[in-house]
Amino acid sequence: MDIYLPIAGMSINFFLVIGIGGLVGFLSGLFGVGGGFLLTPLMMMIGIPPAVAAASDSNQIVAAASSGAFAHWRLGNVDFKMGLVILAGGITGGTIGVQLVKVLRAMGNFEFVMKVVYVLMLGLVGSAMFVESLRTIRRSRAAAADAGAPAVVATEGGLARLFSRLPLKMHFHRSGLHTSAIFPFSIGTTVGIMAALLGVGGGFIMVPAMIYIIGMPTIVAIGTDLFQIVLTSANVTLQQAFVNKTVDLLLALILLGGSTIGAQFGAMAGKRLKGEQIRILLAVIVLALTVKLFLDLVLTPADLVSLAPAKGGGH
Amino acid sequence: MKRLAIFLVALGLLSLWVPETWAISPEAQQKVVTAASKNLIEIGVSYRGDQIHFFGVNPCPGADLIIKLTAEKDEELKLSVKGRVGPFWMTVKQYDVKGAPFMYKIHATKPLKEIVSEETARDLELGYPSIRSKLKLHLARGAAAPDDEEKVFKGLLKIKEEANLYNVVEDPKRLEVAEGKLFKHYFRFPPAATEGRYLVESFCFINGELAAYGKDVVEIKKVGLEYWLTSTSQNQPVFFGVLAVLIAVGAGLLVGMIFRKGGHH
């Protein structure tokens, strides 16, 4: 069964798209991460133009994150003040990012820059996760030694203290913190730019930053992250629709359908596996994707001449 | 004096009448009567391209036939040319290309050069060399190289042929002519063939001279949801963006309610 995607301007197998949505949903349910960073590259691999893939993915993330955000809001896990500071950064970053996409597309190097950023980001996150989970597995094998805190936490605590010394101090009631607004705003901006460029939510960067660097409680970090993801991705979706006209609503809805169902199965599977096993599996997937994208950058491409978007529209 | 003025005006008007672009005027020839299985293709949600069968009567028995499919409008394209920068492959220059038809297909009963002279082929835009001669390349970015024109043209052909928007078939099996008179064939319109008007022109040649000509018009239109999504996203981007976000939030909350669990982000 084929379906015609109006903005991508192509006909594609419906089950392939919903299957990819399902696969990413399964992984995100299993690992408890967003999965935007897997979805955009996979869509590019099946031939969706990169700019349409990123923009439609942002649209899908709005949907996928909103139900979680709503649930956490009802449980009182959202630090709105912190969320708004990060969001201010996220909206700034997203707006810059969308303009960056426009310029890069006109130059014909959007795909190149996107892949470079993906390789750097996935390579870093993947190897950090791999090393960390390997260490955890070794440590648990060595059985309970003494309960001494690992050295990593000490340096992270140091970072948190360093950033909290910056000016523009604010009191964040829900997180129980009195810290500078500069770091939350800048991490928001960074993730906002990445959201536009890559079509990701950025939770896998934001949540660790909130916990280890800002020093927020884990559950509040997750709730607040979801809150800001909904609004940052909504901003990116709006801007992509205005500026680049690359949001394919039909594609986003099919992906949403697939990922929702996949996530339910992923969450069930996740209960049967150990945390570090799951993390090492995710690390391997992420690293494999990194290698694939890196090869795209260095191997001689099959076509040296390609179409650049002359004006708006996905083709 | 007055007569001279009238004569000059009449001469001026007459010169407007003569088509300047075509040395040979196809319209003035005998007519090839043709019929298409349909003249309208609608792009709906399950659209995956379409094909149209064409039938025609060749008024000059035994003539060579060439059928040309083109999009009514030429496209203005921007083509990126990749090159090596350090270890990486990235876009190093871009060309603005004018004069390339969006779609271009030829069916002929035998190789084009056996049917028409180079000059006639260029005048009637038959065959890839004729397209190449009317392309206008303008370097938009980067440094030009002597083989760029060749490279860009080949690249363009490859892109178009892979999308099944261009092809040239010089094979009597593909263009069947029964008893030298009745011919039939079909053109495939791939999913990449977007909205617009397409011309199908039938040319009959006797000894390289154009003897008869016929024309069909095919229109491709998006309909229903596809039409609405495309036109809204292009013409009312603000409304479309807001709508996309609202639908996503609504769908997300609905799904969350169905599964009675938080989302997975």
pLDDT of B252 reads 87
B20 pLDDT band, cuts 50/70/90, is very low
Minimal CA separation from B78 to chain A, in Å:
5
Q: What is the dihedral of CA A20, A22, A27, A29, to 10 degrees?
A: 150
Low-confidence winner among A289-293, B6-10, B156-160 (lowest mean pLDDT): B6-10
CB contact under 8 Å between B155 and A303, yes or no, is yes
pLDDT of B16 reads 52
B252 contacts in chain A (CB < 8 Å): 62-67, 256
B21-222, what's its fold?
Immunoglobulin-like (2.60.40)
pLDDT of A87 reads 93
pLDDT of A178 reads 82
Question: Which of A6, A70, A253 faces B222 most closely, judged by CB atoms?
Answer: A6
Q: Which position has the higher pLDDT, B72 or B215?
A: B215
pTM for this one?
Answer: 0.79
Question: Which of A25, A67, A240 faces B253 most closely, judged by CB atoms?
Answer: A67
Q: How far is CA A15 from CA A18, A22, B36, B46, B136, in A?
A: 5, 10, 34, 13, 42
Percent of chain B with pLDDT strictly greater than 70: 88
A229 contacts in chain B (CB < 8 Å): 265
pLDDT of A210 reads 87
pLDDT of A303 reads 82
pLDDT of B260 reads 62
Which 3 state secondary structure label does DSSP give A3?
A: strand
pLDDT of A265 reads 85
CB contact under 8 Å between A240 and B241, yes or no, is yes
Question: Which of A67, A249, A313 faces B234 most closely, judged by CB atoms?
Answer: A313
In order along its 315 residues, chain A shows pLDDT tens digits of 889 999 988 899 999 999 999 998 888 888 777 778 889 888 988 989 988 999 999 999 998 888 888 888 888 889 999 999 999 999 999 999 999 999 998 888 888 999 999 999 889 888 988 888 888 888 877 755 444 444 444 445 566 777 777 777 888 878 888 888 888 999 999 999 988 888 888 888 888 888 888 888 888 888 899 899 999 999 999 999 999 999 999 999 999 989 888 888 888 887 787 777 777 888 898 899 899 999 989 988 888 888 876 543 333
CB contact under 8 Å between A67 and B49, yes or no, is no
Q: Which amino acid is at A17?
A: V
> What phi and psi, each to the nearest 5 degrees, are found at residue B21?
-75, -35
pLDDT of A309 reads 67
pLDDT of B17 reads 53
pLDDT of B262 reads 44
Q: Where are the domains of chain B?
A: 21-222, 223-265
The overall average pLDDT reported for chain B is 86
ipTM: 0.81
